[in-house]
Amino acid sequence: MLYSGRFQVTLLCLAGISASAQVAVPQVPPAQRKQEDSVIAENRKGAKPRAVAKGKPLSALEQERARVFRAAKKAVVFINASTNLVVRNNATGDIYGIPAGTGTGFVWDDLGHVVTNYHVIKLDAPGAEANQNMENIEVTLSDHQTYKARLIGRSLADDIAVLHVFAPLKDLTPLPLGASRDLVVGQSVLAIGNPFGLDHTLTGGVVSALERVIPSNFSLIKGVIQTDAAINPGNSGGPLLDMSGRLIGMNTAIPAVTGANVGIGFAIPADTLNKVVPVLIAKGQMERPSLGFTSMAPLVALQYFEIEKGVVVDMVEPDSPAARAGLRGIRDQGPKKKPLLGDIIVGFQGKPIRDPVQLADQLELLPPETPLVFQILRDGETLTITLRPLDKAPEVKVSVPA
């Protein structure tokens, strides 16, 4: 049985023998037993360590694999995330805490950034609010020193999260980066992670397929690497390396049939990481093409308009998709007068929206051409408007006199 990322072992007994069953044990004659005791006592005198047999030198492949592991181990970290949140079971009324989540990550650069899967630090419990993150994140380095970390960027569409770990920068060793576009089926790969809480575990295999599409907790992830290197719960967020020790992917998923390794694992390609991670570090979230409106920060909306939930539309650009959909922003009423509240986005694609971050997450999951259906609150009335991101402003034709 597996629990909270640690090993538990169940000892197996012979089937069909009850603890209370009566079993006849043959009696050993006293003379035979005395003879056996004499042999055992004599042989005890010769107890000593055995001589070590001479083995063959490590093969070139084994030496290379060991070298890659030693070099990469410093960059692989153990992640433990927990929260003080408690959840009520509506059916039974029971209240319980949410257990800690554990997984793997790796040092991205020399500025304190660690990359992992977003699902490693996301709450996943009945009753927990969607897209809520673990609050208390700790990162343990290869020297077994543990440091506080904070989530600074996430992409639901790619299941990628970036942490900032507050460790001495001299102790953070980033992995060299490879190009996943150069991978070929059949080439050797190595995976390092913390399966079942067992830190810095190395497994090996080959690239068994490319360009897979797999479901995540949030969307479909495209262009995924498939490998037969053993990947188990706890490996999520760990690096997949080529035999040069370069990062070529981030181990992410296994088939949900058994919940453990069955010879097929999936990794997000390094090329995707190299495109997404810098944006997450710089901006916190992936950005889609401009829709033509900005939102007010939740704290400001609460302070000025006492709006606790939803997205307060701040400014709407003229001739933008938002303007053509009829979205209204905050209107100025002149000096010394309180601005007039415009639209509040309270729903998106039929689901409630809590704040601008949640809206950005949901927008990221949709293709750029998808019509966006917003439920808005305007002057106390709930309305539905549809914003079409790729709509162009009508061309203005000018007649030129001949």
Paired residues of 351 in beta bridges = 348
When pLDDT is averaged across residues 29-33 and rounded to a whole number, the result is 91
Token readout for 178 is: 């490879």
Share of the chain above pLDDT 90, in %: 50
Is the predicted pLDDT of residue 103 greater than 70, yes or no?
Answer: yes
Topology adopted by domain 180-283: Thrombin, subunit H (2.40.10)
- Identify which has the larger pLDDT, 274 or 337: 274
* Spatial CA neighbour of 204 closest among 64, 351, 381: 64
Is the predicted pLDDT of residue 1 greater than 80, yes or no?
Answer: no
Is the predicted pLDDT of residue 4 greater than 60, yes or no?
Answer: no
- Identify which has the larger pLDDT, 299 or 76: 76
pLDDT band at residue 98 under the 50/70/90 scheme: low
Is the predicted pLDDT of residue 90 greater than 90, yes or no?
Answer: no
The reply to whether CATH 3.40.50.20 applies to domain 61-171 is no
Q: What is the CA radius of gyration of the chain?
A: 30
Q: Where are the alpha helices (DSSP H) in 288-397?
A: 298-305, 321-325, 356-364
Buried b (16+ CB within 10 A) or exposed e, 280-297: bbeebbbebeebbbbbbe
* Spatial CA neighbour of 157 closest among 73, 113, 214: 214
**How many of the other CB atoms lie within 10 Å of CB of 133?**
15
User: Which region among 108-117, 173-182, 229-238, 268-277 has the lowest average model confidence (pLDDT)?
Assistant: 229-238
Q: Which residues contact 218 (CB under 8 A, 6 or more apart)?
A: 118, 156, 157, 159, 365
Whole-angstrom CA distances from 330 to 333, 338, 340 are 10, 10, 6
Compute the distance between CA of residue 138 and CA of residue 122 in angstroms, rounded to an integer. Answer: 14
Q: Which residues contact 168 (CB under 8 A, 6 or more apart)?
A: none
| Residue 337: HSE in the Cβ half-sphere, 13 Å Cα cutoff | 9
Compute the distance between CA of residue 122 and CA of residue 163 in angstroms, rounded to an integer. Answer: 13
SS3 call for 377: strand
Is the predicted pLDDT of residue 77 greater than 70, yes or no?
Answer: yes
Q: What is the mean pLDDT of the chain?
A: 83
Is the predicted pLDDT of residue 25 greater than 80, yes or no?
Answer: no
Active-site annotation holder among 155, 180, 216, 236: 236
Write out the residue limits of the CATH 2.40.10.10 domain(s) in the chain. 61-171, 180-283
SS3 call for 217: coil
Per-residue pLDDT tens for 369-379?
889 999 999 98
pLDDT given at position 281: 95
- The highest-confidence range among 26-30, 71-75, 261-265, by mean pLDDT, is 71-75
Per-residue pLDDT tens for 260-308?
567 888 999 999 999 999 999 999 988 777 788 989 888 888 888 899 8
- Identify which has the larger pLDDT, 5 or 49: 49
pLDDT given at position 339: 85
For residues 397, 398, 401, 402, the Cα torsion angle rounded to the nearest 10 degrees is -40
CA-based torsion, 250, 255, 261, 264: positive or negative: negative
When pLDDT is averaged across residues 97-103 and rounded to a whole number, the result is 66
Share of the chain above pLDDT 70, in %: 82
- Catalytic site residue 200? no
DSSP assignment letter at 308: -
Write out the residue limits of the CATH 2.30.42.10 domain(s) in the chain. 293-387
φ/ψ of residue 278, rounded to 5: -60, -35
Is the predicted pLDDT of residue 249 greater than 90, yes or no?
Answer: yes
CATH class of 293-387: mainly beta
User: Which region among 58-72, 73-87, 143-157, 331-345 has the lowest average model confidence (pLDDT)?
Assistant: 73-87
**How many of the other CB atoms lie within 10 Å of CB of 358?**
18
Per-residue pLDDT tens for 129-187?
445 566 789 999 999 999 999 999 998 888 999 999 999 999 999 999 999 999 999 99
**Cα 355–chain centre separation:** 22
Q: Which residues contact 398 (CB under 8 A, 6 or more apart)?
A: none
Q: Which residues contact 30 (CB under 8 A, 6 or more apart)?
A: none
- Catalytic site residue 236? yes
Active-site annotation holder among 113, 155, 158, 159: 159
The total number of residues shown for the chain amounts to 402
pLDDT given at position 100: 61
DSSP assignment letter at 15: T
pLDDT given at position 369: 82
- Catalytic site residue 110? no
Active-site annotation holder among 113, 119, 216, 320: 119
pLDDT band at residue 399 under the 50/70/90 scheme: very low
Whole-angstrom CA distances from 365 to 156, 227, 237, 266, 287 are 7, 26, 20, 20, 11
pTM: 0.71
Compute the distance between CA of residue 375 and CA of residue 382 in angstroms, rounded to an integer. Answer: 7
Q: Which residues contact 340 (CB under 8 A, 6 or more apart)?
A: 330, 331, 332, 333
SS3 call for 373: strand
pLDDT band at residue 362 under the 50/70/90 scheme: confident
